[in-house]
Amino acid sequence: MSESNPKARIGFVGLGIMGQSMAAHLLAAGHTLRVYNRSADKARALVEQGAIWCDTPGTVAAGSDVVITMVGYPSDVEQVWLGADGILPHAHKALLIDMTTSSPELAQRLAREAAQRGCRALDAPVSGGDIGAREARLSIMVGGDAAAFAEALPILQRMGKTIVHTGGPGSGQHTKMCNQLVIASTIMGVCEGLAYARTAGLDLDVVLQCISGGAAGSFQLNVMGPKIVKGDHAPGFMIEHFLKDLSIALAEAGRMKLALPGAEQARKLYAQLVDEGHARDGTQALALLYGAAR
């Protein structure tokens, strides 16, 4: 809740696995909350708690001081921000925060478009998955103007614990690409290690107990590892969205003439999983290709 505007009216567009929890934290903090989602049923619980349903992103923006978007793909961001019924044509001197993992180039474009319309825009992608969203301890990497970041910080603190201003427009998205690249190679390592353990006839639970407290310990090992052992493929973050992120990262790397062989391999493997019908499973389902999962 901002000290300069403790009763800021907030709009939230995109109520998926993470967005629902993020929006709920803002509502619980006492903000007037306007919401929109393509599937209206996903807003039902929030509306029952006092959120105001809007029929379009533009209607959300028209009645909000701050608008947050958390949608799927860069094309979705472009539509909800720039479409005829979108946010920018209807926002009035608002602070606009896109928390989708999207293209750095698009983030820079939106910042320019927002400034031309008298608004401030931040790109603020997150890491932490559904657990981080539910527990309000997301890592939030923010690109944009420093003054806009200071204005947004009290609101972002309702949803996350590690909140860093990474630089100008687009830098938040670039930082999120770094995050996804580290995850891509790490989850492959987890799957390979567990596949080795299974093939060697080891007790996988014992292996996890032994190695999770050492140098191999990480979120991917300590949280995703037990899910892999149990055969739990429920999504905290869907494969189809991770594949999108890897494609953005590799496109940016190509533009910078940077080779990323680990990311290339991860993209190939996740594309195979999508082809085999696992697009909406969690990223830990990668273990299926290594023989590490049940």
pLDDT tens track for 148-161: 999 999 999 999 99
Q: Is the pTM of this model over 0.75?
A: yes
Architecture of domain 10-167: 3-Layer(aba) Sandwich (3.40)
Predicted pLDDT of residue 293? 64
Mean pLDDT confidence for 119-129? 96
Predicted pLDDT of residue 1? 38
In CATH, which superfamily holds the domain spanning 174-289? N-(1-d-carboxylethyl)-l-norvaline Dehydrogenase; domain 2 (1.10.1040.10)
Q: What percent of the chain has pLDDT over 70?
A: 97
One-character DSSP codes across 124-163: --EESHHHHHHTT-EEEEEES-HHHHHHHHHHHTTTEEEE
Looking at the annotation, which residues are catalytic?
A: 176
User: With 50 as the cut, is the pLDDT of residue 216 above it?
Assistant: yes
Q: How many CB atoms lie within 10 A of CB 63?
A: 15
For 183-205, the pLDDT digits (tens) are: 999 999 999 999 999 999 999 99
| Residue labelled with tokens 């996988």 | 204
Residues 6+ apart with CB under 8 A from 169: 107, 108, 110, 111, 112, 121, 123, 143, 144, 145
User: With 60 as the cut, is the pLDDT of residue 3 above it?
Assistant: no
Q: In one letter, which amino acid is 89?
A: P
User: With 80 as the cut, is the pLDDT of residue 4 above it?
Assistant: no
Mean pLDDT confidence for 169-182? 98
For 220-273, the pLDDT digits (tens) are: 999 999 999 999 999 989 999 999 999 999 999 999 999 999 999 999 999 999
Would the CATH topology of 10-167 be identical to that of 174-289? no
Q: How many CB atoms lie within 10 A of CB 123?
A: 33
**What is the average pLDDT value for the chain, to the nearest integer?**
95
Predicted pLDDT of residue 6? 62
Burial class (CB in 10 A: 0-12, 13-18, 19+), 234: exposed
User: With 90 as the cut, is the pLDDT of residue 292 above it?
Assistant: no
Residues 6+ apart with CB under 8 A from 108: 169, 170
User: With 50 as the cut, is the pLDDT of residue 112 above it?
Assistant: yes
Count, in order, helices (H) and strands (E) of the chain: 13, 9
For 51-78, the pLDDT digits (tens) are: 999 999 999 999 999 999 999 999 999 9
Predicted pLDDT of residue 59? 98
User: With 70 as the cut, is the pLDDT of residue 5 above it?
Assistant: no
In the chain, where are the structural domains located? 10-167, 174-289
